[in-house]
Structures are given as structure tokens and as C-alpha cells.
Amino acid sequence: MVLDRFAKSGEEAKDTSFCSKTADWTYNTGGGYCGGTIQGITEKLDYIQGMGFDCVWITPVVHSNSYMGYDAHNLFEINPSFGTKEDLQQLSDSLHERNMCLVVDIVLNHMRSLFVNQKLNISSVVPFNDPSYYHQRDRKEGQSFEDYVKSGPPPAFDGSKDSRNLKELTEKGHARCGPENWEQTECACFPGNSGVNCPSYNAQQQVEGWFGSLGDLNHSHPFVREQLLKYVSGLVKDYHIDGFRLDTAIYIDKGFLSEVQDAAGVEILGEATVNNLTYQSFLMRGEREERVLSGLLNFPPFYQVPEAFCGYIMGGDFGDYSAQGTWKKRPNMKGLGLVMSNQQDSAYENSDLLGNFVDNHDEFARIAHYCKFDQQRIRHALTWVMFTQGIPIVYYGTEQSLSGHQTKVNNPGQDALRESMWQTGYDTTAPLYRFLAQLNKVRKSLQMGTGESDVKNYDSHSMIFTRDAKGGQKAWVFVNNMANSTAGGIRYCPGPLPGIEGQAWHNALSGASMERHLADGCFEAPDQEPKVLHLQQMEDSPLAWRL
């Protein structure tokens, strides 16, 4: 959740008016605060736990320039806009008392912008207040550090030229890209794409390049490494953090990532905005079998989700983003099915530690917007994220149908997806709040926290996959992208074989028996809602055979 936007505390909590401020990214003065606090989250734990969630993931708590916290200027202080060290300790303690866990977002690639109001401002950055702590790739001889930053250091990555080249190659039949190619699941040159398809890729520049004027840390400097490791291990020691989400992980030297993982001693999910499954898997276990990070945010299937369930164009092929934020005539599940199938055949260290999601705070739109508020399609997408192998991640406000999105005109950028939550009243009767609670209940009752997944079949409008469940059984998950206005049943092939010796297949989401809908190796679902079928003794269910 975006800490500044989830819940206020004290007298400020009485003001429930909507807030969606933007930070200053032009002169890099930051700001954009709406008033959310750490204490506010602690006071809303009943609301979060009521949906059945086990962990709370918050954006960075460090003293930073803007409300998002990804531009720190003091790593060792809590942002006073969010609260105090005691507040963070209380949140951690309160979660642990509930047998829940705390995941905190950390940024180790960069600090805040070093160029504020058109002037170099480095002296107040703690602890990295010297130019030697930052990468200076392509700095000219005799050039001042201020002029170097002002003129613009080389970017960490820019695949636009290669993406245009990729388009020409594919049109001529000299290159292949898309969901069927597990080393380039998107038709664009992302970090990790190299060779003929993307010849300009430079892995070293990816590490040494900057994000605009954000101070890119030089991890080869002993002091930088020492202080960052101190910061990470200190968070675990002082606040008993249970896990981290590591921002911009792919722009950090992998050798240092291994050190961070060892120093943390807890699971780390690295942000890996990539479309190459081989490259992605090497971020968990490297080419030389060295351990890198324990987990990753799972972007390759996410890139397919908006089109799969709702026909929405979240990105842009070959670097052309002119259609971004629009809809295709029909949604199509094939791309998602292909990526999932390829991913289960790839050599991941631990697929249970891939974090799956349907939207987040960085992309072009929340799910309520890109699915046009179609509750049925949203339910199917949430069923997918809750039952596919890995860690399900649900963005705050999804349960209240928050619909933040970027636009083509007067685009507020990513800030548009980071709206306040308090205006919803934290309604526990909201349909998606109750549905998420139901999904979590089923996931736990079937003991599907870990375990393998197997994609059985997919086509343009549906997908079937199984998941390991309690007792060594397989649960069958059936999702589709039918619109809410459509009626009637839907045929899925294959389906489970009918139960024997007093056993029957039931829909875990309703308790109803599905036995008489299984025939000829297929499942004739009586309606178009998502289904999770599990096998149980008929006498074990009060709803046995009741349809």
C-alpha cells in the first residue's frame, strides 16, 4: 500500500475528503503529501485482516523528498510525515500479535535527486553526501560534478531504438517475439534482452546509468556497500521486518544483491520489470549457480493480465505507446496462458516466491478502470492472482474499486494511481472486499500457500490450471474473460475425472457439488463465475449435490 494514501490518524482522520496530490518532478522539490500515517495503518488492521490477508506491504518509510519515499535523503530516519520510529515498531508488534507479517519497500539503487531547483544539492543527503558515492559514467575530464548531473548522466536503460529495430526484424521474419518466446515475452526491448533482437543492450550501463537526476549509488564503493547493508540489517533488527520488496533491483550489481540477501536474513522480492524468463530466473539463482535474491515481482505474466481478462492495452509493442490506455475489441487469454506455461517449464529457484499481481502503483491503470468496472471480469482476474503459483499481491483499494489511471491529456502520470483510501469509509460490505475474503478463506482451507501449478489448457476466452492442495490432492481452477452481461454456462476441457468411492468434486467458492457437470473429460460449468474445484467426501459437505 502507498503509506501516505491509506489511512490518516488523530485529528487529521476526521477529514475524509478525496486526495490525489502530485509531487514536484520538474524541480525535484518533492512533496505531494495527503496525510496517511504509520499509525493510521495500525488502526486499520482489523479492516485488512478481515479480508484474510497475512501480510502488509508498505512503501518506503525513510525520510524522503516526496510522499512515495523512493527518493530518500536520509536512510536512517523515519519520514516525520509518516510518524516515528515508535510508530513503526508498534505497527510491527501489532501485526505479529495477529500472526501477520510486515513487508517494507526499500530502495538501494539511488537516493533523491541531486539537482533541486536547478542547483546541485548533495550535502544534506545522508549518508551519501559526496560525489564519489555516485556513478559517474561518461563524465568528461575536467567536468564538474554539478555540470555532469545538470547535463544529464547516461540513463540506466533506453530500449526505444532497439524496439524500433526489433519491429523491422520481426516484419522481415528475422526475429521472433511475444508470449510464445520465453526470452522475449513482449515485443519490446526490455532490460535483459540482448543479442540480435536488441543489440544495444549494455548490462554495465544498466548498473551505472541514472534515472534522470536521482543519485545513482556506486555499489563498488566500500562505504556505499557498508552503509546500505547496515540500513537493511538495521531495519530487520530494530523493527523485526519479515520481508522486503526491493525497488529497481535489476539496476543493481547482482554480486551486491547477493550480499543484501545474505545481510537481510529475510525474504526479498526484487522488482524485476523484465520480459525475459531466462534473465528473470537468473535474478534468483545466477548463471554460476550463485544465490541472488530469494524472490521476485512477477512481471512477465502481469504484462499479459490486462489484455487477458479485459482487453486493455497497458503497454506498447515495439516502443509505440500510442494505443496505451485503450481497449482491444475482445480480451484474449492466450498470451497469459503461454507465459504461464513457459514459466512453469523454466528453471526458477523457487516459483513459490514469485509475487503475482493484477495492478500496482506504477502502471497505467488500476484493474477497476481497465476492466471498466466489470465485476465478473475483475473476480476472474482476482481468482487468477490468488490461486496461481506464487505470492498473491493485492493493491490497496482494489477491494473498494478505486479506479486511478493515467490519461492521454494533461496526464498526471503515476500519481494518478495513488489516490487516497479514506473517502471509501473502509466499507467491509463492498462486494470485492467480501470476495477477497472468500478467496483467502478458500486458499487457506485448501492449504494452497505453496505448491506447484500446472496449466492444463487455455484459449482466447478461458484458462484451466491446477494447484497442489491439502492431502496431496490437486485443486482445479477455471477462469474466463466473459463480460458481466453474458449469461449461460461455459464448457472447459479438460476437467477432473468424476469422483469415486464416495468422493465428489465441489466448488470451493460456493460449496456446491459439481459432479454432475463432469462428463467426457470436460467440465460443463453451470455459469460463468470463476470455479475452484476440490475433491472431498460427499458426507463432509452440507452442500453436497446441492446446486
For residue range 49-80, list pLDDT tens digits in order. Answer: 999 999 999 999 999 999 999 999 999 999 99
**d(Cα 44, Cα 450) in Å, to the nearest integer?**
28
**d(Cα 390, Cα 340) in Å, to the nearest integer?**
12
Helix (H) or strand (E) holding 255: helix 254-264
482 Cβ contact list (under 8 Å, min separation 6) = 376, 377, 461, 490, 528
**d(Cα 63, Cα 437) in Å, to the nearest integer?**
34
Which residues are known to be catalytic? 247, 271
Quote the pLDDT of residue 539: 61
Per residue in 420-442, pLDDT (tens digit) is 999 999 999 999 999 999 999 99
Quote the pLDDT of residue 298: 98
Q: State phi, psi for 179 to the nearest 5 degrees.
A: -55, -25
DSSP calls for 461-524? SEEEEEEE-GGG-EEEEEEE---TT--S-EEESS-PPPP-TTEEEEETTT--B-GGGEETTEEE
37-54: average pLDDT: 98
Q: Binding site for substrate, residues?
A: 110, 245, 362, 418
Q: Per-residue pLDDT for 457 more than 90?
A: yes
**d(Cα 127, Cα 221) in Å, to the nearest integer?**
13
Quote the pLDDT of residue 345: 87
Quote the pLDDT of residue 543: 40
**Among 401, 419, 425, which Cα is nearest to 14's?**
425
Domain ranges of the chain: 453-540
143 Cβ contact list (under 8 Å, min separation 6) = none
Quote the pLDDT of residue 454: 96
Q: How many CB atoms lie within 10 A of CB 408?
A: 10
**d(Cα 508, Cα 476) in Å, to the nearest integer?**
10
Instruction: Among 29-43, 241-255, 452-466, 476-490, name the one with the lowest average pLDDT.
Output: 476-490
The CATH number of domain 453-540, selected from 3.30.70.100, 2.60.40.1180, 2.60.40.420, 3.90.1150.10: 2.60.40.1180
Q: How confident is the model at residue 409 (pLDDT cuts 50, 70, 90)?
A: confident
Quote the pLDDT of residue 347: 84
Sheet containing 453-458: give its strands across. 453-458, 462-468, 474-480, 531-537, 503-507
211 Cβ contact list (under 8 Å, min separation 6) = 109, 110, 155, 156, 248, 251
**d(Cα 361, Cα 379) in Å, to the nearest integer?**
20
Sequence letter at residue 250:
I
User: Given the C-alpha cell 496431496, which residue does it identify?
Assistant: 472
Mean pLDDT of the chain: 95
Q: Per-residue pLDDT for 263 more than 50?
A: yes
Quote the pLDDT of residue 542: 45
All three cell numbers of 99, joined, read: 500472526
Q: How confident is the model at residue 546 (pLDDT cuts 50, 70, 90)?
A: very low
pTM attached to this predicted model = 0.95
Pair type for strands 267-270 and 295-297 = parallel
All three cell numbers of 377, joined, read: 471480469
Under 8 Å between Cβ of 464 and 456: yes
Helix (H) or strand (E) holding 226: helix 222-239
102-109: average pLDDT: 98
The β-bridge partners of 490 are 525
Q: Binding site, residues?
A: 110, 245, 362, 418
Under 8 Å between Cβ of 406 and 416: yes
3-state helix, strand, coil in the chain (%, to 5): 30, 20, 50
Per residue in 344-383, pLDDT (tens digit) is 988 899 999 999 999 999 999 999 999 999 999 999 999 9
Per residue in 282-338, pLDDT (tens digit) is 999 988 888 999 999 999 999 999 999 999 999 999 999 999 999 999 999 999 999
Q: In the 8-state DSSP scheme, what is residue 244?
A: E
**Among 389, 383, 358, which Cα is nearest to 436's?**
383
The β-bridge partners of 477 are 465, 532
Quote the pLDDT of residue 545: 31
Under 8 Å between Cβ of 472 and 452: no
Q: How confident is the model at residue 547 (pLDDT cuts 50, 70, 90)?
A: very low
Q: Per-residue pLDDT for 501 more than 90?
A: no
Q: State phi, psi for 536 to the nearest 5 degrees.
A: -150, 160
Q: Is the dihedral of CA 423, 380, 441, 388 positive or negative?
A: negative
Residues recorded for the chain? 547
**d(Cα 174, Cα 183) in Å, to the nearest integer?**
15
**d(Cα 371, Cα 149) in Å, to the nearest integer?**
41
The β-bridge partners of 62 are 78
- Orientation of helix 431-445 relative to helix 375-387, angle to 10°: 30
